[in-house]
Amino acid sequence: MRLPPLVGLPTDSSLQGHHRFAMAGEKYVRALVDAAAVTPVLLPSLQPPLPAGDWLSRVHGLLLTGAVSNIEPQHYAGGRTWPGNLHDPARDGAAFSLLQHALAADLPVLAICRGFQELNVALGGTLHPQVHRVEGRHDHREDPAASVEVQYGPAHSIALVAGGWLAQWHGGRSAVVNSVHGQGIDSLADGLLPEAHADDGLVEAARSRRHSFVLGVQWHPEWRVTHNPFYHAVFHAFGQACRQRQRLQQDSA
């Protein structure tokens, strides 16, 4: 009997009281189990990063999660930061190191929110540090005073690119997604192909032009994933890619 594929996900480095903890949101871990049918493996983000190649040789996919922190602006020529802009340099270092090795090995990658931004920056793209301050762009942040059900509830529609993966999985040209982010894509990396746009033109999803399965989405499909067929389709497709990777690795062993 074949065991489920292993999927690694970098943790956030979070100060809790006097000590730092390696943390990952349970909603991502749960979505991997319930919708992708894989086994999550937490990869601690330390400074300096642990050898990414050693980890990734043992897993069959990589999930880059969202986080409360933002990528430090020096990674994408984003100018100076500002008070209240939370950063996690350990997560930055781990994510970029993992991505470098994952892309070189053609490992399946699903990148969500911050993870999508990490993917874009790793491939040479840039970000808007504050999308709501860009002329012509909407405010894509959640209401901090709202309940979590409202924050992660339907927020706006996206247009799915004809012939793209998302359009095929969804069976249509538009979908409604949540919106819980302050940063967003400015220039999309040359290696990425758009999959979806918000009605203000912001890139909401993209896939790699050169890899078997590398997909980034700006919204949070892990939220109530078993109740949303579109969100579920994203994780299911990722799980299928990881199973294919597992078969290839076992056949070549």
Residues labelled catalytic: 113, 220, 222
Integer Cα distance of 203 and 184 in angstroms: 8
Integer Cα distance of 140 and 12 in angstroms: 22
Residue 65's SS3 state is coil
Question: For the chain, how long is the longest CA-to-CA vector?
Answer: 55
Integer Cα distance of 53 and 105 in angstroms: 9
160 within 8 A of 170, measured Cβ to Cβ: yes
Structure tokens at 131: 């999308």
Angle subtended by helix axes 89-104 and 114-122, to nearest 10? 60
Count of C-beta atoms within a 10 Å radius of residue 81? 14
Name 39's bridge partners: 6
